[in-house]
Amino acid sequence: MIEEEAVSLPDAATRPMTMIEAINDALHLMMARDPDVVIMGEDVGYFGGVFRATAGLQGKFGKNRVFDTPINECGIIGAAVGMAAYGLRPVPEIQFADYIYPGYDQLVSEAARLRYRSGGEFTAPITVRSPFGGGIFGGQTHSQSPEALFTHVAGLKTVIPSTPHDAKGLLIAAIEDNDPVIFFEPKRIYNGPFDGYYDRPARSWKGHAGGQVPEGYYSIPLGKARTVREGSALTVLSYGTMIHVAEAVCAEKGVDADIIDLRTLVPIDAEAVEKSVEKTGKCLVIHEATRTSGFGAELVALVQERCFYHLEAPVERVTGFDTPYPHSLEWAYFPGPVRIGEAIDRLMKD
């Protein structure tokens, strides 16, 4: 794993963590460092969150700083905006990204525009954490990947980690950032990487390089991609769970791929994308979200505009289908090894 961009403490001891543990560690650390950090959301307090991301925080920092909320996403985000206007640094949780829509007006019309419309008088340094993505038999309302609804909004930053190491460093950076950040956590890889082979035994983060997480404080700058694997035959642009699927399929196909984990979708690391595509001349974009007007369309446009004369083949997109996320046919929907493999074959055929 190449970690040139990570501001890790070079000599810090690391320990194996799951993504949930890494997120929990980042929250513990930021609450201790900054008395203005407060955590709020449904079931995040006494219970520690339905995914255990906030476990132990209320006991340590008290109910004034970590508290349960009514089941009202508009209220959660709206109150967080007001708290930020006061001077706090709220980290609200939306239990599933599928349920972020009641808070959407507060995010789009308020949090995203507060700094702009007030000429900088008021800001919204909030980090909205929310589990997203499929692969867990979550059906229609526990599987969605709504990142494109946020990347389209000026004033928001959208961040998606793919390893425990990145999750901790990016979450710390997101909380410290003075702009509103949507922090989507791929829940399929909370407890271990997932390569798309749903019929094989689940893996844990143990033994994965990305599961080694430095102790203490470090941050990974927003807006910087990570090179997962260096190669010269094909550029793969992806994020979240799909990074691991892409890695597995490229290895299986024996393709010398340059795999870029975007990590931050807005602002995007265009330089990393350009550098890679200029080197390889071929590009494959992969995401779980539905295809039409998905974030992949933006990536394809960016590559087409900036790397046109380097391209040796049309840019390919592998995504979820343009349907609601189904339950029983989950693995027919999920952009798994077969769909990715076909695209790679098309790209590599000459």
Partner 1 sequence: MAVNPLGEPQAGAERAAAPGNLAPLSLHVPEPRFRPGDTPDYSYLDIPAAGTAPRPDEACPASDTWGLTTGLIRVLDDEARAVGPWDPGLSADHLRRALRMMALTRAFDDRMYRGQRQGKTSFYMKSTGEEAVSIGCAFALAHDDMIFPSYRQQGMLISRGYPLVDMVNQIYSNRADRLKGRQLPIMYSARDFGFFTISGNLATQIPQAVGWAMASAIKGDTRIATGFVGEGSSAEGDFHAGMTFAAVYNAPVVLNVVNNQWAISSFSGFAGGERATFAQRAQGHGIAGLRVDGNDLLAVYAAMRWAANRARSGHGPTLIEHFSYRTEGHSTSDDPAAYRSAREAAEWPLGDPITRLKRHLIALGEWSVEQQETMDREVAEEVRDATRAAEKNGILGHGLHHPFHTMFEDVYETLPWHLEEQADQAIRERRIKWPDWKEEG
Dist. CA 114–CA 123, nearest whole Å:
6
Q: Closest Cα to residue 18, out of 62, 51, 56, 48? A: 51
Residue 142 annotated as catalytic: yes
Counting contacts by CB under 8 A, is residue 41 touching partner 1?
A: no
Chosen residue from 7, 55, 82, 310 binding partner 1 by CB under 8 A = 82
Counting contacts by CB under 8 A, is residue 78 touching partner 1?
A: yes
Q: How do strand 264-266 and strand 157-159 relate by DSSP bridges? A: antiparallel
Contact partners, residue 330, CB within 8 Å, separation at least 6:
134, 135, 137, 143
Q: Choose one: 47-55, 149-157, 238-246, 319-327; the region binding partner 1 (CB under 8 A).
A: 149-157
Counting contacts by CB under 8 A, is residue 121 touching partner 1?
A: yes
Counting contacts by CB under 8 A, is residue 308 touching partner 1?
A: no
Q: How far is the CB of 47 from partner 1 (least distance, A)?
A: 17
Q: How far is the CB of 96 from partner 1 (least distance, A)?
A: 19
Contact by Cβ (8 Å): 159, 181: yes
Counting contacts by CB under 8 A, is residue 85 touching partner 1?
A: yes
Contact partners, residue 175, CB within 8 Å, separation at least 6:
26, 30, 34, 37, 89, 91, 127, 181
Counting contacts by CB under 8 A, is residue 140 touching partner 1?
A: no
Determine the 3-state secondary structure of 72 from DSSP: coil
Q: Choose one: 42-50, 266-274, 307-315, 321-329; the region binding partner 1 (CB under 8 A).
A: 266-274
Is the bond leading into 267 cis (omega within 30 degrees of zero)?
A: yes
Sign, Cα dihedral of 224, 230, 235, 239: negative
Counting contacts by CB under 8 A, is residue 74 touching partner 1?
A: yes
Could you say which of 28, 142, 208, 310 is catalytic? Answer: 142
Q: What is the DSSP letter of 287?
A: E
Chosen residue from 99, 101, 122, 331 binding partner 1 by CB under 8 A = 122
Contact partners, residue 86, CB within 8 Å, separation at least 6:
none
Q: Which is nearer to partner 1, 252 or 298 (CB)?
A: 298
Contact partners, residue 292, CB within 8 Å, separation at least 6:
322
x/- track of binding to partner 1 for residues 268-307 (CB under 8 A):
x-x-------------------------------------
Contact partners, residue 4, CB within 8 Å, separation at least 6:
227
Q: Choose one: 17-25, 79-87, 165-173, 274-282; the region binding partner 1 (CB under 8 A).
A: 79-87
Q: Closest Cα to residue 3, out of 127, 166, 148? A: 166
Contact partners, residue 329, CB within 8 Å, separation at least 6:
none
Counting contacts by CB under 8 A, is residue 215 touching partner 1?
A: no
Q: Choose one: 50-58, 113-121, 183-191, 248-256; the region binding partner 1 (CB under 8 A).
A: 113-121
x/- track of binding to partner 1 for residues 51-70 (CB under 8 A):
-------------xx---xx
Q: How far is the CB of 244 from partner 1 (least distance, A)?
A: 28
Q: Which residue has the tokens 């599987």?
A: 143
Chosen residue from 11, 13, 119, 309 binding partner 1 by CB under 8 A = 119
Q: How far is the CB of 79 from partner 1 (least distance, A)?
A: 3
Q: How far is the CB of 73 from partner 1 (least distance, A)?
A: 9
Residue 119 tokens, joined: 């000429």
Counting contacts by CB under 8 A, is residue 101 touching partner 1?
A: no
Dist. CA 250–CA 252, nearest whole Å:
5
Residues that bind partner 1 (CB under 8 A): 38, 64-65, 69-70, 72, 74-75, 77-88, 90, 102, 105-106, 109-110, 113-123, 154-155, 157, 177-179, 223, 266-268, 270
User: Which residues are the active-site residues?
Assistant: 142
